[in-house]
Structure 1
Amino acid sequence: MDIRCGTAGWTDKTLIACKRFYPRGSSSAEARLRFYASQFPLVEVDSAYYALPSAPNSQLWSERTPAGFTFNFKSFRLFTGHQTSPDVLPKDIATALPAGITGPRRKNVYYGELPAEILDELWRRYQEALEPLRASGRLGAVLFQFAPWIIRSPDGLALVETCRLRMADYLMAVEFRNQTWFDDQHAQWTLDFLRERGLVHVIVDAPPEVTNRVHTVWEATHPELAMVRLHGRNTQTWGATGAASAADRFDYDYRDDELNELASSIRAIATRAGRTHVIFNNCFEDQGQRNARTLMSILGVGPNPS
């Protein structure tokens, strides 16, 4: 079984500030990535959700990591139906937005209201940024974490299909956040929908009591990859409107008994796909890194891919 563990990002402010993960002297971007890649075989580029990634950065990341290291990318937020401030768009694209969708009363724009030529250019730039890593064999999957209000409806299905067609040359993983996709009535339908389109179903671990998440469904829909993302189980901070950052929202330290329970399910799902990626998104301080190391020890896997 090929099981690889990693975390969502490697430069979170709270991770660096806690001074428990990076050794003394690892103060540069290069030193931090090189150290991270010596500890884990996989990372998720979470920053690609907040702003378009760049090809020069991808080239540097390729040069600073060993062969066999894998980068999963998170999709840019606009593509997954999230509200997006024009401030995070490239300046030339932001200035080209139609006057009707910008202005003092409009803080955000949405995918469906942008002109086709602007969307084409955003997709082009996003994919351009992936190329250095794909060329070096370090690109894994591109994760599309759809907004909680993207429901299993004609519009929601159309958005997923749009993204699938745009990403036809890449391995695309899908994480839904609305329960309509995996309620008791539609779970099998959704799994079949993903399987028929060659999309990777993302298995989520999250607080069981909250409603703006999908049910945890341990199924694989793609022969090449199974993906598990662990968001922690902090009910109080999951939907907190005042959370200052993702680190605050996903502040949770998995207990060893919880990781042992997860390891059993991960081993089982790993028999149903060529590779299994496990990403810890509990990104407060060094919780994700510590939990990932513990899980790797339980699973008996190391930092270097076999």
Structure 2
Amino acid sequence: MIKIGLTGWGDHDSLYGGITKSSEKLSVYAGHFPTVEIDSTFYAVQPLRNMEKWAYDTPDSFSFVVKAYQGMTGHQRGDGNPFSTREEMFDAFLTSLDPLQKSGKLAMVLCQFPPWFECKKENVQYLRYCKEYLNDVPCALEFRHQSWFAPEFKEQTLSFMEKEKWIHSICDEPQAGARSIPFVLDTAGNDDVLFRFHGRNVAGWNKPANGQEWRDVRYLYEYNQQELEDLAGKVKKAYQSAKNVYVLFNNNSGGHAAGNAKTMIDILGLDYKGLAPRQLDLFD
């Protein structure tokens, strides 16, 4: 199955018809898309009550991609980590997944590593540690340093993913130097594969020299029809070898993700059953 969705559900104003309560947005979102990435888990390990509510607010067939906590992937530096040991941190994160696992709604955990996580021996060893600790939880692996797919390491990286049973997070993103990765269309021998479409804003990908807040511009991009058709063709190709293909649009700095995702659904001719009921507006 091909499941298309967005990263997060709170910022897609075009979906909500004037709804402003954040507590109501996920149930509305689930009337449009069958999957979503939880990005709040990157900033803090979520309490069980949040995960329980999110599972309750979505249909039986809905699925979540849960972004790994930043302390687990090395984004967090200094004294910001509230956990006293690495094991405590991983255990707390695993416990937080229980409601999604019990409801059958956990698609995978996304481990996205930072731009300074280069292809070198100690980092390979840390990836092994993460995969071993997360055990049977399906895990996707996404890099932000191009060394992993440099000519001398590309095949080894993909072979490592296959051997360690990592789901490949295939990214479409600006080609903006060492802090970006190429589009590598390979399912790494897994039944599941993840696509994340970050946009192609080359100028905004790396922090601007003028001090402009980079988060506001990094994902500022709207895919045009031809680009979406090209990407849809790659999604279909991956679906020839993978049983489950997840596609997440992350180009939402300007609010373009939801529209682009719906266009791709149309291009692929997908018709999702079991979405949450939608309230028709005046023009539906």
TM-score (norm 1): 0.84
**Is the CA contact (8 Å cut-off) linking 1:58 and 1:130 kept in structure 2?**
yes
Question: What code does the residue aligned with 1:41 have?
Answer: P
Contact map agreement 1:77 1:84 (CA 8 A) in 2: no
Report the CA distance between 1:168 and its aligned residue: 0.9
CA deviations over 1:266-290 (Å, ceiling 9, x no partner): 1001111110000111122421111
Residues of 2 paired with 1:130 and 1:145: CA distance?
17
Match of 2:24 in 1: 31
The equivalent residue for 2:74 is 81
Query: Partner of 2:4: helix, strand, or coil?
Result: strand
Q: How does 1:126-165 map to 2 (within 5 A)?
A: 126-165=93-132
Which residue is 2:258 aligned to?
289
Q: Counterpart amino acid of 1:291?
A: N
Q: Which amino acid in 2 is paired with 1:119? A: R
Q: 2:60 corresponds to which residue?
A: 67
Going from structure 1 to structure 2, the CA distance change for 1:267 and 1:84 (only over 3 Å counts) comes to same
Q: Which runs of 4+ in 1 moved over 6 A?
A: none
Unaligned runs of 5+ in 1: 98-117
Structure-to-structure mapping, 1:157-236, within 5 angstroms? 157-236=124-203
Aligned match for 1:277, one of 246, 249, 254: 246
**Is residue 243–residue 249 contact of structure 1 (8 Å, CA) maintained in 2?**
no
* 1:44-92 Cα distance to aligned partner (Å, 9 max, x none): 01111122122110000010000110100111111112133544x44xx
State the AA in 1 paired with 2:235: I
Tell me: higher relative CO, structure 1 or 2? Use CA pairs within 8 A at least 6 residues apart. Answer: 1
**Aligned residue type for 1:140:** A
- SS at 1:58's partner residue? helix
Q: Alpha-carbon deviations, 1:95-142, whole Å to 9, x = none?
A: xx5xxxxxxxxxxxxxxxxxxxx2111111111111101100111110
Identity %: 31
- Partner SS for 2:273: coil
Which one of 27, 46, 57 corresponds to residue 53 of structure 1?
46
Q: CA–CA distance in 2 between the matches of 1:299 and 1:249?
A: 27
Q: Normalising to structure 2: TM-score of the pair? A: 0.91
Q: How many angstroms does 1:191 deviate by? A: 0.5
How many angstroms apart in 2 are the aligned matches of 1:57 and 1:276?
A: 26
In the alignment, what sits opposite 1:254? 223
Q: Does 1:6 align with 2:2?
A: no
Counterpart-to-counterpart distance in 1, 2:216 and 2:188 = 30
- Counterpart CA distance in 1 for 2:61 and 2:99 is 14
Residues 188-218 of structure 1 deviation map (CA, whole Å, 9 limit, x = unaligned): 1110000011111111101124331122110
Distance (Å, rounded) in 2 between the aligned partners of 1:212 and 1:151: 10
Deviation of 1:42 (Å): 0.6
Structure 2 residues not aligned, in runs of 5+ = 276-284
CA distance in 1, matches of 2:160, 2:114: 18
Task: Check whether the contact 2:59–2:274 (CA below 8 A) recurs between aligned residues.
Answer: no
Q: What letter matches 1:8 in structure 2?
A: T
Which residues in structure 2 correspond to 1:105-124 (within 5 Å)? 118-124=85-91
CA distance in 1, matches of 2:90, 2:137: 13
State the SS of the aligned residue for 2:125.
helix
Distance change in 2, residues 1:172/1:137 (3 Å): same
- Tell me the CA shift for residue 226 of structure 1: 1.0
Letter of the 1:254 partner, please give it. Y
Aligned residues: 273
Confirm or deny: 8 A CA contact 1:6 1:279 kept in the other structure.
yes
* Structure with greater helix share of residues: 1
State the one-letter code of the partner of 2:256: Q
Q: Shift of residue 178 of structure 1?
A: 1.3
Call closer, same or farther: CA 1:247–1:52 in 2, change over 3 Å.
farther
SS at match of 2:50: helix
